[in-house]
Amino acid sequence: MKTYKPSTVCDYKSDREIKPSEYSEYLSSSKWAWYRSKILKRDNHKCTECNSSENLNVHHLTYRNLGCEQMKDLITLCRKCHKEAHFYDLNKKAKSNLIQSLEDKYIRLENNV
C-alpha cells in the first residue's frame, strides 16, 4: 500500500452518492488509514462515548466530505457504540443519548466550540 500524503486534492466528489464498492475501496486506502490514525490519536485511542479502548472504529458523522474529510467529520467509537449509531441511521428510531451526544459534538466541532 502506498503511503498517503495529505493534499488539497479530493479523490471523491461529495455531490454524488457513493457506491458501496467505492466506500469499501476507500476504507482500504492509505488515505483512510492516515485519517483513521489521526482521529484515533486525537481521541486518545478511546471511544468518545463510553471511554472503551477496545474494538475501536472511526465513524463518519457526515458523509458529505467522503474522501476529503475534515477532522470534525470523524469520531472514534467502540464497536458497540458504532453499531448503535448506525442502527439509528438505518431505522430512524427515537434518538438515544448516544445519537444526541454525537449530534451535539458535531455541532460543536462545526462551530469550533
Q: Report the share of the chain in percent with pLDDT over 70.
A: 62
Examine the pLDDT at 36 and tell me if it is beyond 90: yes
Does 7 reside within a domain? no
Does 12 reside within a domain? no
Does 83 reside within a domain? yes
**Measured on CA atoms in the order 38, 86, 102, 56, is the torsion positive or negative?**
negative
On whether the CB atoms of residues 79 and 57 are closer than 8 A, the answer is: yes
Residues in a beta bridge with 56: 78
Does 44 reside within a domain? yes
Query: Could you read off the pLDDT of 52-84 as tens digits, one per residue?
Result: 999 999 998 887 788 888 888 899 999 998 888
Tell me the three state secondary structure of residue 74. strand
Does 3 reside within a domain? no
Overall number of domains in the chain: 1
Query: Could you read off the pLDDT of 95-111 as tens digits, one per residue?
Result: 556 666 766 776 676 67
C-alpha to C-alpha distance for 47 and 53, rounded to whole angstroms: 6
Identify the domain containing residue 45 by its residue range. 20-110
Provide the pLDDT for residue 79. Answer: 93
Does 106 reside within a domain? yes
Does 68 reside within a domain? yes
Does 105 reside within a domain? yes
